Amino acid sequence: MTFRIAHISDVHLAPLPPVKPSEMTSKRIVGYNSWTFRRKAIHDAQIAGELVRDIKAAHPDHVMVTGDLVNIALPREFINGESWLRNLGRPDWISFVPGNHDAYVPVPWEKGMGRLGDYMTGDLMVSGAVTTPNMAMPFPYVRQRRNIALIGVSTGVPTRPGRASGVLGEGQIDALADTLHNLRSKGFYRILMIHHPPLPGLAKRRKALVDAHALQQVLEDQGCDLVVHGHNHVTMRNVLASRHGPVHILGMPAATSNGARNTEPAAWNEYHIRRTSGRWQCTVNSRCWSAEKNSFVPQTSYSLD
């Protein structure tokens, strides 16, 4: 049987809620100015609504959201983000991993990402999963859906103004290596969900995953069937050779982008995964925002080796 999984990233929910003077830390000032003078012309609340409608109409078996649900991590943004996710679907139907904007500045867990905790819980035991001062949920987490394993890691950490880098940390990397090994030995199709592009050189230095070299080594040693990410706001497709076959790495444009300011319009992918004659097969169907038709339309379709 085919299992169908939708993937979106970088929702950047609009509009930005009112900001209290007490909430304007130094980095939030930078982010607020970025929103006012650039981002609010790109991220469209109508597209966010149409995205929900389009995914629901497709009836996928699961949905993956790879971070940046919010913009400058205001407490009100997390309330809106939780509401948007719940309108999209149940927590057991949606798997979320944090991005750098979700961890833009330190926010008390219960007022910030804790509101999204139900979307970041695993149902398989992960040896060595870690929590951090920023993340009260253990990462990596694993969700089993039939013979497919969804593995979520967190790269979102507060950074200084002007930087959008991410970090996994030694604990997550070690646990991920063991997890990938164990899941491969049990025959699972393994999907890694991460916000930042996972390999060196795929993002500008100020926006890159700091320990991308260590993650690349894990992927080369243990293999992984599919890695999905966001962060760069453009469609990306890369393949990494591993000891256990190709690792397909796919990135997405921002899920609410209207294409203004030379940005790539919003899109989402649906992965059709099945096992035939002892081999995994995956077909990717992409749907892209059309300003002309005011809806999402079919864009491309291709198979992963």
Alpha helices by DSSP H, listed for the chain, are 26-37, 45-58, 75-88, 170-185, 212-222
Upper half-sphere CA count for residue 154 (Cβ side, 13 Å): 27
Assign residue 36 a region (left: φ > 0; alpha: ψ between -120 and 50; beta: otherwise). Answer: alpha
Q: Computed from CA positions of residues 135, 139, 143, 149, in that sequence, does the dihedral angle turn out positive or negative?
A: positive
* Structural domains of the chain in order of their starting residue, each with its CATH number: 3-304 (3.60.21.10)
What is the reported pLDDT for 31?
96
What is the reported pLDDT for 111?
96
Assign residue 245 a region (left: φ > 0; alpha: ψ between -120 and 50; beta: otherwise). Answer: left
What is the reported pLDDT for 305?
78
Per-residue pLDDT tens, the chain, 305 aa: give them. Answer: 899 999 999 999 999 999 999 999 889 999 999 999 999 999 999 999 999 999 999 999 999 999 999 999 999 999 999 999 999 999 999 999 999 999 999 999 999 999 999 999 999 989 999 998 889 999 999 999 999 999 999 999 999 999 999 999 999 999 999 999 999 999 999 999 999 999 999 999 999 999 999 999 999 999 999 999 999 999 999 999 999 999 999 999 999 999 999 999 999 999 999 999 989 999 999 999 999 999 999 999 999 97
DSSP label of 120: G
Full-model pTM: 0.98
Structure tokens at 290: 């059309």
**Cα 70 from Cα 226, distance rounded (Å):** 25
What is the reported pLDDT for 35?
97
What is the reported pLDDT for 133?
82
| CA angle (103 as vertex; 233, 49 as ends), nearest 5 | 50
